[in-house]
Amino acid sequence: MNAKELVRKYAVSPYSGYLLLVMIGLVLPLVITDDFFNRIIILTFFYIMFSTSWNLLAYSGQASLGHAAFLGIGGFASTILVINGASPVVGVLAGAVTASLVGLFLGIICVRLKEWFLGLVTFGFAIIMAAVINESSIFIEALNGVLATIGLSGNMNPDMLGGSLGIYSPDIVSRGQYYYLFFFAMVGTILASHLLVRSKMGFAFAAIRENQTEAAMMGVDITKYKLIAFMISTFMAGFAGALYAPYNYFINPEMFSVHNSFMPIIMTISGGIGTIGGPVIGALVINLVWEQMGLWGMSIDRLLILGVILVLEVLFLPKGLMPLIKKLVNKVAALTSRDTPL
Amino acid sequence: MAEITTLIQIFIWGLTAGCIYVLMAVGLNMIFGVMKVVNFAHGEIMMLGAFTSFWVYHYTGLNPYFVMFISMLLVGIFGVIIERYGFRKVQGTGKLNEIFLSLGLIYILQNAAVKLWTDDIRKINSPFSSMTLDLGMMNITYDRIIAIVFTALILISLYLFLTRTDVGRALRATSQNHEAAMLMGVNVNHMYMLSFGIGSALAAAAGTVAAILTPFNPYMGTIPGIMAFTVIIIGGLGSIPGAIIAGLMLGLVQNFTIFYFGGAWKEAVAFVLLIIVLIIKPTGLFGEDH
């Protein structure tokens, strides 16, 4: 095989994308030593994980409009465990599992329902979670009371969720290692989502998304696969949240904000919904645009601009940037092997 | 056991809160019934209605209850524009695109409002705000009574419009089967615009009532928006009687919960109610299978 053939074979394969990603990722901290940029890159990795998790659920035809709920549950659950002496690994995994279980619960309620129901329930769930945590001490005291009346010792600390002020979240690795932690977590998330989409289960997800009735006729167990999609996606979101909380030093009900539910949606749509590269490209572009607007001193304006971007994309670029990038890659590949166009 | 007068007082508060939910939810259901679109930005349209009323009231000094109708007209026209240049464009491209479009609208409307009018807390001062109906043992402010009466009037006129006029019949026909309606010579696109306009106008009425009763800022619409979704799920997607009953029920349940358990439980109780209904009867209390 000569060089041209190699380029043709691998330049358009997804694995070249992974290789490029890993290489760039490993070299990046050597090039960028500035703390501020380091933070932006880590945030980008975080958003890539979060968007990938959202995209996986959308891949099965279920759009969560309150994915921040699972992010926050993962963050709160893991933080509380780590504060109470659990090891970081256990804490992070338990946070993700908790998010996944809550996801399963919501999934069971919504699995029989149409798209908009799921949207309504998840959208409301995230906002109500924020309200509940804001006033958490009241709920925990009430729970303590209930536990005491049925004979169990109800002695949970009412302030354990910190209410509207939030709680301090201790470091799980040293500061310098967060870059690699987020980087490998992100590569793992993307790879998991890639393998899943290419597997038999991924085909089931796509079949359900395209036509539920036909999928059922072909023998796809719709309830089962929808719930699996929900659990995997919310696990990933909880995992991202469990890593974000310690990196951010503290966690508060802001984690459940509409904004956090909204970011993975706009990122995925910008990149290309239903593709593996979409959330990656989208999170990269939107996060950089977002941070740049922050540097320009915009606060309300940048939220407004995000809304305008989303509306324009839905109207004029519903497939996102991915098709454009694919075209570009194909063009480059065609240029390097001019004699036999692809 | 609380005093009976206190309970009646809470009942009235619950009823007024319920009226706001009912106006919101009936509007959402109108839009859903005819267009099969769930507008997540409905709470933001309500906020727009409150601000429209506020500014018209601020500059003209007219009675806020009269201003409400101006606001309904203006916001209704705004809703028609959103339908024509937004939702119409993505019709038929999948439910998700409609949902994403309305999410984008939330961001645009909310932040444009903060940008234009700041997030200061404002209030529409009703001329009746200091007047109360003295029932001997208790007082009820006139504003609350007017809110209930206006909601009833708006709903009755909507009912008459839908059942007694040709346009209303065409609207109902479209919501039952838009292809058959098209074959019968109904201009379905006009019906879509009209339903979105009416839905937005009802949201504007809800916003004005809310702005008269409580202080507001550009973020006022989020929670009532969510509650309106809860109401239409509990009542049954597309069912207007369901929305009225579920809306009043939610308002009452919330206010009694606040009284007995404290304000923190207000949102949680709505969600618990929603989950229970979804588990027992996923189509809602008055819903048919979609």
What are the DSSP E strand ranges found in B103-209?
Answer: 132-134, 139-141
Of A116, A121, A310, the CB nearest to B104: A310
Tell me which chain B residue has its CA closest to the CA of residue A131.
Answer: B267
Taking CB atoms and an 8 Å limit, are B38 and A310 in contact across chains? no
Percent of chain B with pLDDT over 70: 98
Give the model's confidence band at B139: pLDDT under 50 very low, under 70 low, under 90 confident, else very high: confident
Torsional class of A194: left (φ above 0), alpha (ψ -120 to 50), beta (otherwise):
alpha
User: What is the tens place of the pLDDT at every residue in B28-82?
Assistant: 999 988 988 888 899 999 999 999 999 999 999 889 999 999 999 999 999 999 9
Taking CB atoms and an 8 Å limit, are A119 and B223 in contact across chains? no
User: What pLDDT is recorded for position A13?
Assistant: 65
Does A187 contact B at CB distance below 8 Å? no
Of B100, B112, B230, the CB nearest to A314: B100
Residue with tokens 């490993």, as numbered in its chain: A26
Burial B59-69 (b: 16+ CB within 10 A, else e): eeeeebbebbb
Does A217 contact B at CB distance below 8 Å? no
On the question of pLDDT at A263 being above 90, the answer is yes
Does A304 contact B at CB distance below 8 Å? yes
Q: Residue B112: list chain A partners with CB under 8 A.
A: 304
Residue A70: closest CA among A92, A100, A44? A100
Q: Residue A307: list chain B partners with CB under 8 A.
A: 104-108, 111
B190: Cβ–Cβ under 8 A, 6 or more apart, which residues? none
Give the model's confidence band at A63: pLDDT under 50 very low, under 70 low, under 90 confident, else very high: confident
Does A317 contact B at CB distance below 8 Å? no
Q: Are the beta carbons of A236 and A196 closer than 8 angstroms?
A: no
What are the DSSP E strand ranges found in A155-194?
Answer: 167-168
ipTM for the whole complex: 0.87
Higher pLDDT, A157 or B227: B227
Of A112, A124, A258, the CB nearest to B230: A124
Q: How far apart are CA A281 and CA A21, in angstroms?
A: 11
Which residue segments constitute the domains of chain B, with CATH numbers given?
4-280 (1.10.3470)
Distance from CA of B268 to the nearest CA of A (A): 6
Q: Residue A228 domain-assigned?
A: yes
DSSP string of A84-114? TT--HHHHHHHHHHHHHHHHHHHHHHHTTS-
Taking CB atoms and an 8 Å limit, are B226 and A128 in contact across chains? yes
Q: Residue A142: list chain B partners with CB under 8 A.
A: 261
Of A138, A310, A318, the CB nearest to B103: A310
Q: Are strands B132-134 and B139-141 parallel, antiparallel or unpaired?
A: antiparallel
Residue B112: closest CA among A316, A308, A296, A263? A308
Residues 71-110 of chain A whose Cβ lies under 8 A from any Cβ of chain B: 109-110
Q: Residue A178 domain-assigned?
A: yes
Residue A135: closest CA among A253, A250, A254? A253
State the pTM of this model.
Answer: 0.88
Total structural domains within chain A: 1
Tell me which chain A residue has its CA closest to the CA of residue B82.
Answer: A311
Tell me which chain B residue has its CA closest to the CA of residue A267.
Answer: B100
Q: Residue A208 domain-assigned?
A: yes
Q: To probe the interface with B, which of A102, A117, A223, A256 has the most B CB atoms within 10 Å? A: A117
Name the residue range of residue A171's domain: 35-257
Mean pLDDT of A205-227: 90
Q: How far apart are CA A121 and CA A128, in angstroms?
A: 10
DSSP state of A220: -
User: What is the tens place of the pLDDT at every residue in B38-47?
Assistant: 888 999 999 9
Q: Residue A7 domain-assigned?
A: no
Count contacts between A and B (CB, < 8 Å).
Answer: 123
User: What is the tens place of the pLDDT at every residue in A157-213?
Assistant: 878 887 778 888 888 888 888 999 999 999 999 999 999 999 999 999 999 988 888
Task: Describe the crossing of helices A3-11 and A14-31 by its angle, rounded to 10 degrees.
Answer: 90
Q: Are the beta carbons of B208 and B54 closer than 8 angstroms?
A: no
Give the model's confidence band at A341: pLDDT under 50 very low, under 70 low, under 90 confident, else very high: very low
Percent of chain B with pLDDT over 90: 53
A197: Cβ–Cβ under 8 A, 6 or more apart, which residues? A56, A59, A205, A206, A276
Q: Residue A337 domain-assigned?
A: no
Higher pLDDT, A115 or B279: B279
Distance from CA of B284 to the nearest CA of A (A): 11
B122: Cβ–Cβ under 8 A, 6 or more apart, which residues? B54, B211, B215, B216, B217
Give the model's confidence band at A150: pLDDT under 50 very low, under 70 low, under 90 confident, else very high: confident
